[in-house]
Amino acid sequence: MTIPNVPPECYLVLSGILFTIGVIGALTRRNAIVVFMCIELMLNAVNISFVALSRFLQSLDGVLFAFFVIAVAAAEAAVGLAIFVMIYRSKETINVDEINILKW
Amino acid sequence: MAENIATIFQWLVFLGAAFGSIIASLLVITRKNPIHSALFLVLTFLCVSVLYVLLYQQFMFIIQIFVYAGAIAMLIVFVLMLLDLEVEVRSGLKLFYSKAIGGVLAVLFLFGIIYSVVAKSPTGKVGSYAPDKLSGNVKAVGQMLFTQYLFPFEIVSVLLAAAIIGAVILSKKRT
C-alpha cells in the first residue's frame, strides 16, 4: 500500500482559508496598519496557489507571477506606510473609521 | 516502504506548516496589540515559506524570507514603533453588525472557493519543467526571467523606483 502525495487541492484549500482570514481581518479591524497586514496576508495566500499550480502543472510561469506579486507588495508597503505616517502627522490617528474625508 | 516514509514525512510537514500558518494568521487578526499582530504575521510568512520548500521552489523560499519576513515585516514594525498608537477602541453596536455581516460573507466566499477547488481537479497545459528532477530552480527562474519575462521585469524595476521616490517625498516633512 502506498500513500498518495499531497494533492494540489490541499494547497488550494489552504490558500483559500488564508485568503478568507485576510478578508475577515481587513473587514473587521479598525487599525489601518493591521488592515494593511491583512492585505499582505491575502497577497501571500494568492502566492501559495500560484506556486502550487506551477509545481503541479510543471511550469515556471506561476513562480514568476508570484515573484511579480511580491515586488508589487514591496512597493505597496513602502508607499502605503509612508501615507500612514503622513496621515498620523496631520490627524493624530490611523483609525480607519475616523479617516473618512478626502480633504482636511 | 522507503517511499512511504518519505510521503508520510511530506504529509506531516505539510499539515504542520498549514495548521501553523492558519493559527498564526488567526492570531494576526485577533490580537489587540498591533506589534503582536506584526510578529504573528512574520510567523505566518515563515510557515508559508516551509510550504514553498515542500513544493520544490527554492527561489520562492528565499524571496519569501528576504522580502516578506525580512523587509516588509521590518517596515511594518518600524512604522508601528514610529507611530504612538493607543490600544484599539472597542467598537460599538453598529460596527458589530457590519463585522458580523462581513464575516458571514467572507465565510460564504470561502465555501465558494472550496467548492470550486474540489469540484474539478486543476487542469491545464502541462509544461516540460520538472522541479523534483533539478537540484535547484534558481537558475531556471533566472533564465526565464531574463528571456521570456524581460519586459515585465523592467516594468517592475520602474515601479520599485517610483515607489522609493514616492515614499521619500511623502514622508518628507513639509517646511
In a domain, B144, yes or no: yes
Instruction: Give the pLDDT of chain A (104 residues) as one tens digit per residue.
Output: 677 888 888 899 999 999 999 999 988 888 889 999 999 999 999 999 999 988 888 888 889 999 999 999 999 999 999 988 888 888 777 888 777 776 55
Shared domain for B148 and B107, answered yes or no, is: no
* Residues B115 and B160 occupy one common structural domain: no
User: Is the separation of the CB atoms in B77 and A73 below 8 Å?
Assistant: no
Residues B99 and B82 in one domain: no
Is residue B128 a part of any domain in this protein?
A: no
Distance from CA of B119 to the nearest CA of A (A): 10
**Contact between residue A61 and residue B60 where contact means Cβ atoms under 8 Å apart:** no
pLDDT tens digits, B40-66: 999 999 999 999 999 888 889 999 999
With respect to residue B44, please indicate whether it lies within any of the assigned structural domains: yes
Extract the C-alpha cell encoding B5.
Answer: 516514509
CATH number at residue B75: 1.20.120.1200
Hey, which residues 30-59 in chain B have their CB within 8 Å of chain A? Answer: 34, 37-38, 41, 44-45, 48, 51-52, 54-57, 59
Q: Note whether B81 and B98 are same-domain residues.
A: no
pTM to 2 decimals? 0.89
The 3-state DSSP class for residue B15 equals helix
Sign of CA dihedral B61, B62, B65, B67: negative
Report the b/e string of B94-112 with b at 16+ CB within 10 A.
eeeeebeeeeeebeeebee
Together in a domain, B175 and B158: yes
The tens digit of pLDDT for each residue in B83-95 reads 877 655 555 555 6
Residues B56, B68: one domain? yes
Q: Evaluate whether residue B147 is within a structural domain.
A: yes
Chain A partners within 8 Å of B6 (Cβ): none
Identify whether B125 is part of a domain. Answer: no
User: Do residues B1 and B61 share a domain?
Assistant: yes
- Look at residue B5 and tell me if it is in a domain: yes
B175: which strand partners?
none
| One domain for residues B106 and B150 | no
ipTM: 0.90
Residue B71 covered by a domain: yes
Q: Are residues B142 and B166 in the same domain?
A: yes
**Residue B141 and residue B108 share a domain:** no
Q: How far is A15 from chain B (nearest CA, A)?
A: 9
B107 and B44, same structural domain? no
Residue B32 counted as domain residue: yes
Domains in chain A: boundaries? 30-99
- Is A98 an interface residue toward B (CB < 8 Å)? no
Domain interval for residue B153:
133-175
Cα(B165)–Cα(B169) distance, rounded to whole angstroms?
6
Q: What is the DSSP string of A4-60?
A: PPPPHHHHHHHHHHHHHHHHHHHHH--BHHHHHHHHHHHHHHHHHHHHHHHHHTT-S
Query: Do B71 and B141 share a domain, yes or no?
Result: no
**Number of domains making up chain B:** 3
Question: Are the C-beta atoms of A42 and A19 separated by less than 8 Å?
Answer: yes
What is the CATH number assigned to the segment(s) A30-99? 1.10.287.3510
CA B163 to chain A, closest CA, distance in angstroms equals 5
